[in-house]
Chain A
Amino acid sequence: MIKFESVSKSYDGNMVLNDLSFHVEKGELAFLTGPSGAGKTTILKLIYHALAPEAGAIYINGQNTCFIKHSDIPWLRRAIGIVFQDFRLLLTKTVFENVALALRIRGLDEREIKARVMETLKMVGLRHKSDNFPQALSGGEQQRVVIARAIAAEPMLILADEPTGNLDPETAAGIMSSFKEINARGATILIATHNRDLYHNSGRKVFRIASGTAAGTVVRQEES
């Protein structure tokens, strides 16, 4: 589903990813971990084509996205649900509208949108907050809205960047079980996190990025 081949990426001449290769199979739920600044968010941005690599190739569902046409980028992104590390909620829209946005962009009709949004909000425990604006929510609640927006359209790939960063262990565990459920229904999920509890003893694949190696970005694949 995701395949990086010798990918390099730098910001203003500072190499962040150097000759990185790894892949995630279709239907997997895998973790991406490593110290702050290692390049986890950068990897996710490369996947949804907010960034392009300087060298190497990235395949998403078999397609090399380095050569993607501009007009195809929206389609690539609609196949992906993203939990942004910085949330990216629209502050002028209600919780309902924020989640609905993912479905409107995909062209669903109003009745289906209403049903799906309410169902998804129930899943993350925010049904009662559907008419609130994001700024009236706690950090953890906002994070759950972002998760709802990412999963509402049932995309085939979900990228979650530190999805439990603002959640207490119990809520985090609840979100994790939702991810597992979605994964069991067939979606591929890649979770970038520092939170060892999420992947420890989960039996899932973990990619650990070590930063600062001159020889190249080392990705150790460990079984948790």
Chain B
Amino acid sequence: MSYHVKTALSDLWKEKWINLLGCLSMGVGLFMAALALAAVINSNRVASALPERFSLTVFLKQDATPADIAQIQNALRSDKPVKSVAFISSDKALANLKEGLGNKYSYLLEGLDSNPLQASFDVKLRKEYVRTVSVKALAASLKTMSGVDSVNYGKGFLDTIQKVVHAVSEAGLALFAGLLAGAVFICYSTIKILFYRKSDEIETLKLLGATGWFVRAPFLLEGAVMGFLGGLAAGAACFGAFDVFLSGVGGALPLLTNLSIPPALVAGLPVAGVLAGMAGALIAIGRVRP
């Protein structure tokens, strides 16, 4: 084993410029891959830290009395996080629905002899409060008031956020996979060059009875070392880039102080580098035919 290690290190040193280039290229690839993954992780984290909603709708019972309605309205108005309250009568709701359906389908509603829609309050919340105040608690207290049928908190907004997070996650993961494949490819081409340069020596090893793994071992180690060093460089770059980012853009938006590059991700970079390097080396050498 120590023989393979010695061979690998001396080979790496002999071709140090090619290998340095390989290390740095792998480092760049891994760095960008880490950023893509960090984007995915952070978008998920921001989404979960976000208030569940910025607005809520209070649906009223059909038999709610004007007194009930007034009481609810007053309760909402006096609540600090509430920015605005709009009352939507059942007639208005039906009109909105008709408008939403358009002329073509409005006949669907013609057969109705009574208005099935509920009156409601459309409540907008102040952004600066939604993080500290539990919207759930507000909704729960509203629900206990007489005349309130149900409280619906901005599901649509939540869905949008989730869609955005999904899109970021998918694009980020695809980018991550692509960049990781790029790192593998860089190692592949670097090792391929070394492999060709040593083809004469490899032929001799095989004639002396070396197995495929004996021939492969130094190259695998070289790939692993290159990947490891590339991963270390990428990790250092991650910390550096993140500091710059936080002191610049990050400070301006309070939401972004929540962002971070997870230490586990950075610690994983050399490991990912080793795996990518060995994979690249394996593909480069391929099957060693006797």
Contact = CB atoms under 8 A, between A and B. Distances in A.
A104 B3 contact: yes
Contact of A78 (B14, B201, B209): B209
A74 B211 contact: yes
Interface residues of B, number: 17
A74 B210 contact: yes
A101 B208 contact: yes
A180 interface: no
Interface in B42-71: none
Given A90-B201, A92-B14, A105 B209 contact: yes
B204 interface: yes
A83 to B, nearest CB: 12
Contact of B207 (A70, A82, A104, A106): A82
B210 A70 contact: no
A36 B214 CA distance: 35
Contacts, number: 44
Given A48-B207, A70-B290, A77-B208, A105 B201 contact: no
B12 to A, nearest CB: 13
A50 interface: yes
Contacts of B211: 74
**Dominant secondary structure of chain A at its interface with chain B:** helix
A88 B290 contact: no
Interface in A130-180: 149
Contacts of B14: 92
A105 B210 contact: yes
B205 interface: yes
A92 B10 CA distance: 10
B289 interface: yes
B1 to A, nearest CB: 10
B207 A50 contact: yes
B69 to A, nearest CB: 86
Nearest to B201: A90
A74 B3 contact: no
A73 interface: yes
17 contacts: A70-B290, A74-B210, A74-B211, A75-B209, A76-B209, A77-B206, A77-B207, A77-B290, A78-B209, A80-B209, A82-B208, A88-B203, A88-B204, A88-B207, A92-B14, A105-B205, A105-B210
Interface of A: 48-50, 70, 73-78, 80, 82, 84, 88, 90, 92, 101-102, 104-106, 110, 149
Interface of B: 2-3, 10, 14, 201, 203-211, 214, 289-290
The 5 A-B residue pairs with the shortest CB-CB distance, nearest first, are A77-B209, A73-B290, A78-B209, A88-B204, A105-B210
Given A77-B206, A92-B14, A105-B208, 14 more contacts: A70-B289, A73-B290, A74-B290, A77-B208, A82-B208, A88-B203, A88-B207, A92-B201, A101-B205, A102-B208, A102-B209, A105-B205, A105-B214, A110-B2
